[in-house]
């Protein structure tokens, strides 16, 4: 079995690098947004402070203009008058300031450290808290928006990347499985052909006793059967892929039919080699199925139970009714399956990538075909295993058919 192509880690590295660049980019973008909003807020507060200074200047100028107003000396010649300056009323000044500068308040005592006293010390100017609070709110709003937009952006882009990554992984995986498949099929074709060639040469070039000729004939038949099975499977897979795998269902009593298929398969694999145990329900169980296609399903499952278990094998086939369904379970005590392989078991070309599977000839098409045929019967097939070394079980569920009246 080939190893994963070297592009796989490269693909992962690219994915990780793009994700890191994206996160750094978004982090930088957050930073810019937060800094810019702080700067904007500071500028606005400075502008507010400028209006407070302007208010202070306005009030100061009005005071100074009052202080410097002198009576016309020519009107009261020789009279020196001492008069206190007639300063405008503080309430009037407050109204004037607040009318013109709505964000500035005239207060008796400073509220902020830098609140300036009016020129005559009668009160202080401070900035109202509302606009500053509003600015603060606006700033947090901007930051919140930046964070949510950024998070949304990251989620969208990362989801896209994950999808892309998965798609690429699937593509690469399929390509790898196809490559394995090509070498497996080549091997599967070459081995029986080579052996047939040797037997043909032996038969035609040497005079052999009858018992040896009979043994060679058996071996040749087995090779031909292997080739026939492989080509049949390949044709069925091609049909399934193009949607042309047509089945011809008919009412089928499962007990005698299944017994026949299992026993024939046991015989083909070498009498007793499967360690076959049949546990069939005593009631008559019927389904609507194509005997040939369903036979392919059972043969593939039994062939796997043979291939992926060591001698002495124990293969159990059970047949039972389950409400409106029929259950056929083929289980073995062989190599077993790990939980991580179960979801991909019925994929085209999939073969478990361990040492044990590598030593066994196969194309990774058998279970795909099993699934396609069972689906066409309106049923489903599941695999289960208690773990590596603990055997496997394949359960085929088909709709049950009431016993036909004429049966």
DSSP-assigned letters across all residues of 263-303: HHHHHHT-TTTT-EEEEE-SS--EEEE-HHHHHHHHHHHHH
Q: Are 356 and 389 in contact (CB under 8 A)?
A: no
d(CA 101, CA 121): 19
Reported as half-sphere exposure (CB side, CA atoms, 13 A), residue 109 has a value of: 0
Q: Which is nearer to ligand ADP, 269 or 305 (CB)?
A: 305
Buried b vs exposed e over 266-277: b needs ≥16 C-beta within 10 Å? bebbeeebbbbe
Measure the CA–CA gap between 195 and 307, rounded to whole angstroms.
Answer: 20
Binding ligand ADP (rule: CB under 6 A), the pick from 286, 350, 371, 396 is 350
* Residue 3 beta carbon to ligand ADP: minimum distance, rounded to whole angstroms: 16
- With contacts defined by CB under 6 A, how many residues of the chain interact with ligand ADP? 22
Residue 308 within binding range of ligand ADP, rule CB under 6 A: yes
| Minimum separation from the CB atom of position 315 to ligand ADP (A) | 9
H and E: helices and strands count for the chain = 8, 9
SS (H, E, C) 28-87: HHHHHHHHHHHHHHHHHHHHHHHHHHHHHHHHHHHHHHHHCCCCCHHHHCCCCCCCCCCC
Interaction of residue 351 with ligand ADP, rule CB under 6 A: yes
365 touches ligand ADP by CB under 6 A: yes
Q: Quick one: angle between helices 210-241 and 129-205, nearest 10?
A: 150
> 319 near 254, Cβ under 8 Å?
yes
The least distance separating ligand ADP from the CB of residue 350, rounded to whole angstroms, comes to 6
Rounded to whole angstroms, the Cα distance separating 50 from 126 reads 11
* Interacting span for ligand ADP (CB under 6 A) from 62-70, 112-120, 168-176, 361-369: 361-369
What region does 78 belong to: left with phi over 0, alpha with psi -120 to 50, or beta?
Answer: left
Is position 357 an interface residue for ligand ADP (rule: CB under 6 A)?
Answer: yes
Q: How far is the CB of 192 from ligand ADP (least distance, A)?
A: 15
366 forms part of the interface with ligand ADP (CB under 6 A): yes
Q: Which of 345, 373, 381, 401 binds ligand ADP (CB under 6 A)?
A: 345
Q: Is 392 in the site for ligand ADP (CB under 6 A)?
A: yes
Task: Name the segment binding ligand ADP (CB under 6 A); options: 21-29, 144-152, 163-171, 359-367.
Answer: 359-367
Instruction: Choose the binding region for ligand ADP from 155-163, 209-217, 254-262, 360-368 (rule: CB under 6 A).
Output: 360-368
CB 345 within 8 A of CB 362: no
Which residues have a Cβ under 8 Å from the Cβ of 361 and sit 6 or more positions away?
184, 187, 188, 191, 307
In whole angstroms, the minimum distance from the beta carbon of 204 to ligand ADP comes to 33
Give least dist CB 394 to ligand ADP, A: 7
Tell me if 233 contacts ligand ADP by CB under 6 A.
no
Q: Does the protein bind ligand ADP through residue 327 (CB under 6 A)? A: no
Contact status: 265 vs ligand ADP (CB under 6 A): no
Residue 362 touching ligand ADP (CB under 6 A): yes
- Which residue, 286 or 308, is less far from ligand ADP as judged by CB? 308
- Interaction between residue 367 and ligand ADP (CB under 6 A): yes
Q: State which of residues 352, 373, 374, 398 lies at the interface with ligand ADP (CB under 6 A).
A: 352
Residues contacting 156, CB < 8 A, separation 6+: none
Angle 326-330-335 (CA atoms, 0-180°, nearest 5)? 150
What DSSP assignment string belongs to 314-347? -EEEEEEEETTEEEEEEEESSS---TTTGGGTTS
Which of 337, 373, 374, 398 touches ligand ADP by CB under 6 A? 337
Q: Which of 56, 350 has the CB closer to ligand ADP?
A: 350
Q: Does 332 bind ligand ADP (CB under 6 A)?
A: yes
Q: Among 97, 265, 302, 305, which residue interacts with ligand ADP (rule: CB under 6 A)? A: 305
Which residue lies nearer to ligand ADP by CB, 106 or 365? 365
302 sits near ligand ADP (criterion: CB under 6 A): no
| Of 115-123, 303-311, 372-380, 398-406: span binding ligand ADP (CB under 6 A) | 303-311
Alpha carbon distance 177, 175 (integer Å): 5
In the bound state with ligand ADP, the residue whose beta carbon lies nearer, of 192 and 366, is 366
- Binding site residues, ligand ADP, CB under 6 A: 300, 304-305, 307-308, 332, 334-335, 337, 345, 350-352, 357, 362-368, 392
């Amino acid at each position: 079995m080939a190893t994963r192509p070297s592009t796989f880690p490269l693909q992962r590295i690219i994915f990780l690098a793009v994700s890191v660049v994206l996160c750094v980019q978004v982090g930088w973008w957050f930073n810019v947004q937060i800094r810019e909003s702080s700067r904007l807020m500071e500028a606005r507060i400075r502008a507010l402070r400028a209006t407070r200074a302007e208010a202070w200047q306005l009030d100061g100028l009005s005071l100074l203009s009052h202080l410097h107003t002198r009576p016309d000396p020519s009107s009261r010649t020789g009279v020196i008058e001492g008069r206190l300056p007639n300063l405008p009323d503080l309430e009037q000044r407050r109204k004037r300031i607040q009318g013109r500068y709505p964000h500035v308040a005239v207060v008796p005592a400073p509220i902020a450290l830098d609140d300036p006293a009016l020129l005559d010390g009668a009160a202080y100017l401070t900035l109202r808290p509302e606009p500053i609070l509003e600015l603060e709110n606006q700033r947090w709003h901007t930051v919140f928006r930046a964070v949510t937009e950024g998070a949304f952006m990251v989620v969208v882009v990362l989801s896209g990347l994950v999808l892309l990554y998965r798609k690429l992984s699937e593509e690469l995986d399929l390509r790898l499985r196809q490559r394995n498949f090509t070498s497996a099929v080549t091997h599967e074709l070459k081995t029986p052909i080579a052996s047939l060639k040797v037997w043909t040469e032996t038969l035609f070039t040497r005079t052999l006793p009858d018992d040896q000729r009979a043994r060679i004939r058996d071996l040749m038949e087995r090779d031909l059967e292997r080739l026939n099975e492989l080509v049949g499977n390949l044709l069925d897979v091609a049909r399934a892929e193009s949607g042309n795998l047509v089945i011809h269902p008919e009412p089928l009593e499962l007990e005698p039919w299944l017994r026949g298929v299992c026993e024939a398969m046991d015989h083909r694999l070498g009498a007793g080699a499967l360690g076959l145990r049949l546990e069939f329900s005593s009631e008559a169980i019927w389904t609507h199925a194509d005997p040939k296609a369903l036979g392919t399903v059972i043969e593939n499952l039994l062939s796997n139970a043979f291939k992926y278990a060591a001698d002495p094998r124990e293969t159990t086939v059970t047949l039972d009714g389950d409400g409106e369904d029929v259950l056929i379970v083929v289980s073995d005590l062989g190599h077993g399956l790990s939980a991580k392989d179960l979801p991909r078991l019925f994929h085209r070309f999939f073969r478990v990538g361990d040492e044990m599977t590598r030593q066994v000839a196969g194309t990774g098409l058998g279970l795909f075909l099993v699934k396609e045929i069972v689906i066409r019967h309106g049923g489903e097939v599941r695999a289960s295993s208690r773990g590596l070394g603990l055997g496997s079980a394949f359960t085929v569920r088909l709709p049950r058919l009431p016993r036909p009246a004429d049966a």
